[in-house]
């Protein structure tokens, strides 16, 4: 940056030296007559040389400033992306995805404008004003002292401009984030929007956001139009008229060299160009400041480092919850005194109505949240003392709504893990019963899958998701209602595969289909955040309690209506 400033000063100095050279030419022509051309030619050559230096300096200065700005923003964008990986999961639960995308893409780009436009303009303008006022003092001290009143006046105008336009720009950036969030949500749920004929309502909501952004942009432009070129041009014209009057009056009293008059008017006119340049970039600067506030608000959030877990020892898989209590919001406990133990090779099933706390138990085990009371241990070690990467290295998870990334089948199973070979990928797909349909695809294991896997059926996506979990050979396997969207035939395939893959592993299953957990070693029945029953299938059926009634309800037996009523009233 120091080199850029030196080049900048040379370029500006070369540019500002022009009027002095022209003044000298005029004065020599008036004093020595038209016959002395040699000195004039030397001065013209010097002027041309200065112009070439100014051109080279401007190019170098612009290149250095912009390349530096691009480097800064590239690093900022990467720092933001890395920090997002460290932020707790609850931030993403409460923040629309589109807003986060807007922070990384749009807001960092706006910060780039601060360096590439405003900073370059501000530095150039400052050096130009410094040189101009130096020249003015050399030409006429009294008038130069009067011109010193201009910078404070323009600074006051800029302050008023910034004060009134900042609020408008903040609303504009907020609406842009809201629009991005809405676009992202609309695309993700487009089938629902069209199925329920919500197209017009969605457009109206988007139009409302767009109209609000437009209205604030118009207000901001109105402030800009009143306080930028308009007022600077008016003040510039008045000051120029005053200077002409001053020199005209002085010419009646004393003789004034015409070169001095020309140079002073030229430099005076140059004062207003850098001021206008700064005004023109104020909007970019304010947009950058507002965007920077949003970016640094994320960067300032507490997060945990993504640590290297390559040397993490594979656990036996003994999972223990000891009197665990947890609340997403203070005072609203979703888990109350949860205690259970799952040993290696055991399958533990969690059942209960929606909101009973099943998924919360899994979220705590995966380290997405921290318990308010109690402890969770793996092989006797409290997971609170482990890094998240070490904790999750030997865990596999399959969700109810499987997500496939854009890429081929084998990538979606291995996720480019170098330790998973193509043979292991094929073996995992075979174990879960997915190999037959994958091999029938046109490109087989190299078949491209669009984002979210929309070209495959729900059952096929779920099978690939199962294969992904198995390929990583987890010590602890978590199935979060993983069979909810699978047909009976596919369910049978997965049930057979699970008997093989769960051997030697600790498996925790959240299930709504009670038929899928009949072989579980232990079934925990949750109700309002508490374990109200526990045991295997036969033991719970013999108790005739909540699990018995839930099973009857799903099997459609005669007592189902009464069971449903009892469960509802419980």
Q: Residues 263-281: pLDDT tens digits?
A: 777 777 777 788 887 877 7
Tokens of residue 383, six digits:
């997971």
Cα–Cα distance for residue pair 389/487, rounded to 1 Å:
34
Q: How many CA atoms lie within 13 A of 93 on its CB side?
A: 8
- pLDDT at position 75: 87
Q: Residues 167-208: pLDDT tens digits?
A: 888 888 888 888 888 888 888 778 788 887 888 888 988 999
Report the percentage of the chain scoring pLDDT > 90. 11
Which of these ranges, 381-385, 400-404, 490-494, has the smallest mean pLDDT? 490-494
Q: Residues 107-166: pLDDT tens digits?
A: 887 777 777 667 667 777 888 888 888 877 877 777 778 778 888 888 888 888 888 888
Q: Residues 38-88: pLDDT tens digits?
A: 666 776 777 787 778 877 877 887 787 778 878 888 888 888 888 888 887
Q: For residue 288, name the pLDDT band (cuts at 50, 70, 90).
A: confident
Strand partners, 530: 527
- pLDDT at position 242: 79
Q: For residue 309, name the pLDDT band (cuts at 50, 70, 90).
A: low
Q: For residue 532, name the pLDDT band (cuts at 50, 70, 90).
A: very high
Cα–Cα distance for residue pair 418/179, rounded to 1 Å:
39
| Closest residue by Cα to residue 326 from 362, 355, 366, 364 | 364
DSSP class of residue 103 equals I
Which one of 1.20.1560.10, 3.30.1950.10, 3.10.20.30, 1.10.8.50 gives the CATH number of domain 2-299? 1.20.1560.10
Place of tokens 């706006």: 110
- pLDDT at position 14: 44
Which of these ranges, 34-38, 407-411, 511-515, 548-552, has the smallest mean pLDDT? 34-38
Is residue 138 within 8 Å of 216, Cβ to Cβ? no
Q: Residues 251-266: pLDDT tens digits?
A: 545 555 556 666 777 7
When mean pLDDT is compared over 92-101, 178-187, 228-237, the highest value belongs to: 178-187
**What integer is the mean pLDDT of 482-509?**
71
- pLDDT at position 417: 83
Q: Which residues contact 238 (CB under 8 A, 6 or more apart)?
A: none
- pLDDT at position 376: 94
Computed from CA positions of residues 488, 494, 496, 499, in that sequence, does the dihedral angle turn out positive or negative?
Answer: negative
**What integer is the mean pLDDT of 494-519?**
78
- pLDDT at position 249: 66
Q: For residue 449, name the pLDDT band (cuts at 50, 70, 90).
A: confident
| The 3-state secondary structure of 247-308, one letter per residue | HHHHHHHCCCCHHHHHHHHHHHHHHHHHHHHHHHHHHHHHHHHHHHHHHHHHHCCCCCCCCC
pTM: 0.66
Cα–Cα distance for residue pair 427/429, rounded to 1 Å:
5
Higher pLDDT, 321 or 281: 321
Tokens of residue 459, six digits:
């059952």
Is the predicted pLDDT of residue 320 greater than 80, yes or no? yes
Is residue 487 within 8 Å of 493, Cβ to Cβ? no
**What integer is the mean pLDDT of 351-373?**
89
- pLDDT at position 24: 53
- pLDDT at position 34: 52
- pLDDT at position 210: 92
Cα–Cα distance for residue pair 550/237, rounded to 1 Å:
87
Is the predicted pLDDT of residue 516 greater than 80, yes or no? no
Q: What is the mean pLDDT of the chain?
A: 78
Is residue 338 within 8 Å of 531, Cβ to Cβ? yes
Higher pLDDT, 6 or 389: 389
Q: For residue 483, name the pLDDT band (cuts at 50, 70, 90).
A: low
Q: Which residues contact 287 (CB under 8 A, 6 or more apart)?
A: 110, 113, 169, 172, 173
Cα–Cα distance for residue pair 356/532, rounded to 1 Å:
11
| Closest residue by Cα to residue 339 from 528, 80, 534 | 534
Cβ neighbour number for residue 370 with a 10 Å cutoff: 11
- pLDDT at position 39: 67
Q: Are strands 530-535 and 522-527 parallel, antiparallel or unpaired?
A: antiparallel
3-state secondary structure of 489: helix
Tokens of residue 569, six digits:
């009233």
Q: Where would I find the H helices in 319-399?
A: 358-365, 388-392
Max Cα-Cα span within the chain? 124
> Could you give phi then psi for residue 447, rounded to 5 degrees?
-65, 130
- pLDDT at position 373: 92
Domain residue ranges of the chain, discontinuous segments joined by + = 2-299
Higher pLDDT, 324 or 293: 324
Computed from CA positions of residues 225, 228, 231, 236, in that sequence, does the dihedral angle turn out positive or negative?
Answer: negative
Q: How many CA atoms lie within 13 A of 520 on its CB side?
A: 29
Is residue 216 within 8 Å of 172, Cβ to Cβ? yes
Higher pLDDT, 496 or 63: 63
* DSSP string computed for 35-89: T--HHHHHHHHHHHHHHHHHHHHHHHHHHHHHHHHHHHHHHHHHHHHHHHHHS-H
Q: Using only the alpha carbons of the chain, give its radius of gyration.
A: 36
| Closest residue by Cα to residue 362 from 386, 342, 390 | 342
Tokens of residue 211, six digits:
């109209």
Q: How many CA atoms lie within 13 A of 257 on its CB side?
A: 17
- pLDDT at position 563: 46
Cβ neighbour number for residue 351 with a 10 Å cutoff: 25
- pLDDT at position 258: 59
Cα–Cα distance for residue pair 4/57, rounded to 1 Å:
9
Q: Where would I find the H helices in 518-559?
A: 537-543, 546-555
Cα–Cα distance for residue pair 328/360, rounded to 1 Å:
9
Q: Where would I find the H helices in 114-257?
A: 120-139, 141-147, 150-188, 190-195, 199-227, 229-253
Q: What are the Cα distances from residue 139, in Å, to 29, 167, 257, 274, 420?
A: 19, 44, 11, 20, 79
């Amino acid at each position: 940056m120091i080199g850029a400033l030196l080049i900048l000063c040379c370029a500006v100095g070369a540019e500002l030296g022009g009027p002095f050279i022209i003044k000298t030419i005029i004065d020599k022509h008036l004093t020595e007559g038209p016959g002395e051309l040699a000195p004039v030619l030397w001065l013209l050559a010097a002027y041309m040389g200065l112009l070439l230096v100014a051109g080279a300096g401007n190019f170098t200065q612009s290149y250095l400033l912009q390349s530096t700005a691009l480097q800064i923003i590239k690093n900022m964008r990467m720092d933001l992306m890395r920090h997002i990986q460290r932020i707790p999961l609850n931030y993403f639960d409460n923040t629309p995805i589109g807003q986060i995308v807007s922070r990384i893409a749009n807001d960092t780009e706006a910060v780039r404008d601060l360096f590439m436009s405003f900073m370059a303009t501000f530095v150039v303008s400052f050096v130009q004003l410094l040189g101009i006022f130096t020249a003015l003092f050399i030409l006429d001290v009294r008038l130069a002292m009067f011109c010193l009143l201009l910078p404070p006046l323009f600074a006051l105008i800029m302050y008023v401009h910034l004060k009134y336009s900042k609020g408008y720009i903040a609303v504009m950036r907020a609406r842009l984030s809201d629009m991005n969030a809405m676009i992202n949500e609309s695309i993700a749920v487009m089938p629902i929007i069209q199925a329920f004929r919500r197209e017009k309502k969605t457009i109206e909501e988007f139009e409302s956001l767009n109209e609000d952004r437009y209205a604030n942009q118009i207000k901001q432009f109105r402030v800009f139009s009143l306080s930028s070129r308009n007022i600077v041009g008016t003040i510039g014209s008045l000051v120029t008229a005053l200077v002409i009057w001053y020199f005209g009056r002085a010419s009646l009293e004393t003789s004034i060299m015409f070169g001095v008059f020309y140079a002073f008017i030229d430099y005076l006119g140059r004062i207003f160009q850098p001021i206008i340049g700064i005004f023109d970039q104020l909007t970019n600067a304010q947009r950058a400041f507002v965007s920077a506030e949003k970016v640094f608000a994320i960067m300032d959030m507490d997060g945990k480092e993504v640590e290297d877990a390559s040397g993490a020892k594979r656990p036996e898989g003994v999972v223990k919850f000891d009197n665990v209590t947890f609340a997403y919001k203070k005072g609203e406990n979703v888990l109350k005194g949860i205690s259970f133990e799952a040993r290696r090779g055991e399958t533990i099933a969690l059942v209960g109505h929606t909101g009973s706390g099943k998924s919360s138990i899994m979220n705590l085990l995966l380290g997405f949240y921290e318990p308010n009371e109690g402890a969770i241990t793996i092989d006797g070690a409290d997971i609170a003392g482990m890094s998240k990467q070490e904790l999750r290295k030997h865990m596999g998870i399959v969700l109810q709504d499987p997500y496939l990334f854009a890429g081929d089948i084998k990538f979606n199973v291995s996720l480019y893990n170098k330790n998973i070979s193509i043979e292991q990928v094929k073996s995992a797909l075979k174990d879960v019963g997915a190999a037959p349909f994958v091999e029938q695809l046109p490109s087989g294991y190299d078949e491209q899958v669009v984002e979210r896997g929309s070209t495959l059926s729900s059952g096929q996506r779920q099978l690939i998701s199962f294969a992904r979990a198995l390929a990583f050979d987890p010590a602890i396997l978590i199935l979060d209602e993983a069979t909810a969207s699978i047909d009976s035939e596919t369910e049978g395939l997965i049930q057979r595969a699970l008997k093989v893959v769960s051997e030697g592993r600790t498996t925790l299953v959240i299930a709504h289909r009670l038929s899928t957990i009949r072989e579980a070693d232990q079934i925990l029945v949750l109700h309002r955040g508490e374990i109200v029953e526990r045991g295997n299938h036969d033991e719970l059926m013999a108790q005739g309690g909540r699990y018995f009634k839930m099973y009857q309800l799903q099997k459609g037996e005669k007592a189902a209506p009464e069971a449903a009523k009892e469960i509802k009233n419980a």
